[in-house]
Amino acid sequence: MKWNIPSLEELEDVIWKCTACGNCKTAYDFGPPPFYGEICPAGVEYGFDGNMASKGKIAFARGILDGELEWTQDFVDAIYKCTVCGGCQNQCELDHKPFIPEIIEAMRRKAVADGVGPMPTQKVIAQSMRSFDNPYQGPRRVRTDWTRPFKKAKNPIKNIMKKDAPILYYVGCTGAFNLPVRNLPVATASIFQKLGLDFGILGENEICCGSTAMRLGDAEEFKRVAETNLKIFKDLHDNHGVETIITSCAGCYRAIKKDYSLLDEYEDLLDGIQIIHTTDFLFNYFKEGKMKFTKELPWKVTYHDPCHTGRHLISFDIDEDGSKQWKGSYLGKSEDNCLYDIPREMLKAIPGIDFREMERIGSNSYCCGGGGGVMTGYGDWAAKNAGLRIQEGLDTGAEQMISICPFCHYNLNEGSKRIQSNMKLYDLVELIDMAL
Ligand code: SF4
Ligand code: SF4
């Protein structure tokens, strides 16, 4: 199969377009009310002007390409101190804007190819992927532990390899293996059952989407699981009637929608299959009047935008042939694929919800701090950063923070504990399940 994952060398032209202006330090919004706020978790923790944020990382990329920098442990450490949140990308307005996270990941791919990356603490992920097909060192049989309550209640969840269904619920490794967020798949399946949907799961046959491997620069491992998944999805469509794949994980969603599309055969393999995030799927149901809330939740809530269902799904318009401006110029962006309004509209539709908005939202959202391998590699920093986001939520008067990503959920929970706050974390599906 032919992948179009760019190497650092292939990105050389765009790497030289950063002017080191530093505009990517701050998120702006002209309002009303106008505001500005820090946007780079790496810059906040390690100093924006100390080469740890995007302009410094891009300078590192030049140094590698020029042969002026050689791998040292400190240098490798520096390129992994980034949540790949894309916050910097959203602020920059120069022609390399569409490629900024790609440049950071291409450096990581080079580090892995040269045998120096990822960081020792992150290597456990690569080993786990190879041994268990998931990043959590979880034995395959544990993947279905969350389904036990359904079995007990005599409402077992269908194994789609044994019984056909039009909907595959692709659970994701975090929901399946990470105990504090197991409520997520439970709530999702509970909603689907309440709505009478004909769905199934892959159970022990589900494997990781590859998102973590890709973020860490392990392109070979990513390709292995992505190709396997795409073949499974095609087989499910051709032989088991699957038309829709729903995932409640922001990382899986981003990987399948965006990373997998770097494969030449992507369109063919997913022909006839819709990939959709649970929030989007349920919102369509709600709009069609097929899902009605019957219970009230008198909660004061705020919403955290995950990077993977937000900024990472921005599409950029580039002047490919120079007919509009100049060849390779950045012309504009579209946020049409970003899940910004839908989760907020769903939340506000739940009776009793008192919704409070934080300042940094949408494409200016402040990353929880857990992405890009940071939660595994730099857990203390990840939780510290999450504490900053929790404080921002507390400042709105909210008592619950809602998200649509199990990774954010876990890390924000760690942040809440770290600052000893009473902020409780929930996934949107948990609230929907409670209100149905
Ligand atoms: S990435 Fe863009 S905004 Fe940031 S320093 Fe470079 S040119 Fe400026
Ligand atoms: S991707 Fe996020 S953490 Fe990394 S340099 Fe950009 S803003 Fe900072």
Considering the domain architecture, whether residues 135 and 188 belong to the same structural domain is answered as yes
Instruction: Name the DSSP letter for residue 244.
Output: E
Considering the domain architecture, whether residues 304 and 407 belong to the same structural domain is answered as yes
- Regarding the beta carbon of 85 and ligand 2, being less than 6 Å apart is answered yes
Per residue in 395-404, pLDDT tens? 999 999 999 9
Distance CA 389, CA 12 (A): 35
Per residue in 232-258, pLDDT tens? 999 999 999 999 999 999 999 999 999
Instruction: Name the DSSP letter for residue 327.
Output: T
Considering the domain architecture, whether residues 245 and 132 belong to the same structural domain is answered as yes
Which of residues 84, 117, 150 is at a domain's end?
A: 117
Mean pLDDT in the chain? Answer: 95
Pocket test for ligand 2, best of 18, 51, 55, 88 (most atoms within 8 A of CB): 88
Instruction: Name the token pair of 68.
Output: 């002026």
Residue range(s) defining the domain that contains residue 75: 1-117
Per residue in 81-139, pLDDT tens? 999 999 999 999 999 999 999 999 999 999 999 999 999 999 999 899 999 999 999 99
State residue 126's pLDDT score.
87
Considering the domain architecture, whether residues 244 and 129 belong to the same structural domain is answered as yes
The CATH number that applies at residue 300 is 3.40.50
What is the domain count for the chain? 3
Considering the domain architecture, whether residues 164 and 148 belong to the same structural domain is answered as yes
Ligand 2 centroid–CA 94 distance in Å is 16
- Regarding the beta carbon of 79 and ligand 2, being less than 6 Å apart is answered no
Query: DSSP labels for 195-233?
Result: TT--EEE-GGG----SHHHHHHT-HHHHHHHHHHHHHHH
Is 281 a residue whose pLDDT tops 90?
yes
* pTM score of the predicted model: 0.95
More confident position, 13 or 35: 13
Distance CA 275, CA 168 (A): 10
Which of residues 264, 287, 310 is at a domain's end?
A: 287
**pLDDT band for position 32 (50/70/90)?**
confident
Considering the domain architecture, whether residues 219 and 305 belong to the same structural domain is answered as no
Nearest CA to 77 among 129, 40, 42, 126? 42
Is 50 a residue whose pLDDT tops 90?
no
State residue 389's pLDDT score.
98
What are the start-end ranges of the E strands in 15-157? 26-29, 35-38
Instruction: Name the token pair of 145.
Output: 């532990």
Q: Which residue has the tokens 């190709």?
A: 227
Considering the domain architecture, whether residues 281 and 133 belong to the same structural domain is answered as yes
Instruction: Name the token pair of 72.
Output: 């040292």
Distance CA 25, CA 394 (A): 24
Considering the domain architecture, whether residues 325 and 384 belong to the same structural domain is answered as yes
Query: DSSP labels for 259-324?
Result: IGGGBTTHHHHTTT-EEEEHHHHHHHHHHTT-----S----EEEE---GGGTGGG-EEEEESSSSS
Q: How far is CA 196 from the centre of its chain?
A: 28
